[in-house]
A and B are shown apart, each in its own frame.
Chain A
Amino acid sequence: MIDTVIIPLLQIVVVINALALSASLMTLFERKVIAWTQSRLGPMRVGPYGVLQAIADPIKLLLKEDITPRKADKWMFTLAPIIALVPAMVVFAVVPFGSEKLFGSVDLFIADINVGLLFIISVTSIGVYGIILAGWASNSKYPLLASLRAAAQLISYEIAVTMTLVSVTLTAGTLSMVGIIEAQQDAGLWFVFVQPVAFVLVFIGGLAEINRVPFDLPEAEQELTGGFHTEYSGMRWALFFLAEYANTFMVAAIMTVLFLGGWLRPFPSVDALAFLDLIPSWVWFMSKMFVFLYMFTWIRATFPRYRYDQLMRLGWKVLIPIAIANVVVTAVAKVLL
């Protein structure tokens, strides 16, 4: 009873709180990094060097007025941010944060199911509903158009990412997240060296899945006045925001586990580097995730936005054929080698 109900509940509480806290810190991180890229300083007033901005922003959002459009469908207007947020958090149930066991018996993942990767893909595809319903429930032109565009973008790139993850599954031989990390340990190489094409495809597809630059047309202010969350303000908008950052963390975590060896140290089979094992495995995991978050922010500061037809053309005519070719080449290599 204790270890099947109580401990997972405590793990879930820790993970959800960590996600919420990290999302608010990530907003500060993004603003600072983008500011430094543009030769300015970013938030500097609140706290030393602007560090307390992460606390000031949620307080502002909590105190804002909660406006619901008059003819909006009330139930769905309230439900849409929740449907957007819950899948983004549920996905973290299968992400393994490290190989140690806390207090001798508590694993650093909530559940290691043997269809872990497929679980992540399928739960992410539920998040599309939050966006569609947000646009529909707002009963207003701009959100509706933006939400249909966003949904079309998400389901197109979902196909490319799923195909690419098939080739990663072929390489690892298992769908379980811990199993993929152990496959990388057995192979002695991170999969980014074995499947570089898949790495690039999941990176680009992942950026499109989380509606980030250069694929953030559905929520761009210059194009669609805020996209599908135009009519949302205050805490409801904060839920969408939280969902987007949770999705960002999820893509960073997936790429870390699949391509960068998860909680393995660099060159896990070279014994000469065994002194690196002094650094705990969850520190390796968090550093690798941090590298991806920094790359996402760097891309946001640097690239312009894709136009919608260019975006769809990239997804359907470029990424999907490359992903299919990757699967075929991986399968042939797996049989021959």
Chain B
Amino acid sequence: MSADAVLVRHWRQATDDAVALAVQAARASVAAFSTATQTSGSLIQSWVQGREVVEYDHYPPDDVVDRRRGSQFYYHAHRDGDLEHGHLHLFWHATGGGRRRYLREGRASWTRTAPSHLLAISLDARGLPVGLFTVNRWVTDGHWFDAKTTMSFVERFALSPEGEHASSIRWINGFVRFYQARIELLLEARDKRLELRSALATALDDRRLEVLSLRRIDWAADLDAIEVEAARRGL
């Protein structure tokens, strides 16, 4: 594979500040990826911690949740194919109106709704991110928001890098920032696919529609591309 041409074009047209932020996010995510791999063996192992991976089980078992920031993710594996070992699901805690919901310790806050899905990140068996994809509502439940609103959640998605998952949190915070432009396109493609159906409510519950948009990524090539762009500008 090679660098994502759409991202290369996006960075080429971006402001210096935007490119600098992308470089910063990339550096933070690479450093955290290295720390997690050196400390735990891989990103996957930082959540699995030596256990056998069982289809559909969550790793870590209770997910990684930042209640204050309303952000959540977990890793699991169940999809067939060569692309991935498993994937991360990323969520945002929002009301039906799109406002952030705060979870309080010790309270069953989610009896009526589920966290809303943002995107999934495919990882290979070494923990290397190799793809991004979106899923239909029935897959994860939760409130459904259009691409623009979901993207506003993606922009705010972040967890405080604390505790035993601090390295993977730093990685995911930086990784999501780095790929924001691609994630926006994936969400738009998701919505366009659903627009082909006559009734949105029916489509959102259609078990034949699972993955709605997917993009393979070459993280190393994309890292090279942002460094080239930064160097070209003298950043």
Task: Please say whether chains A and B are actual partners in one complex.
Answer: no
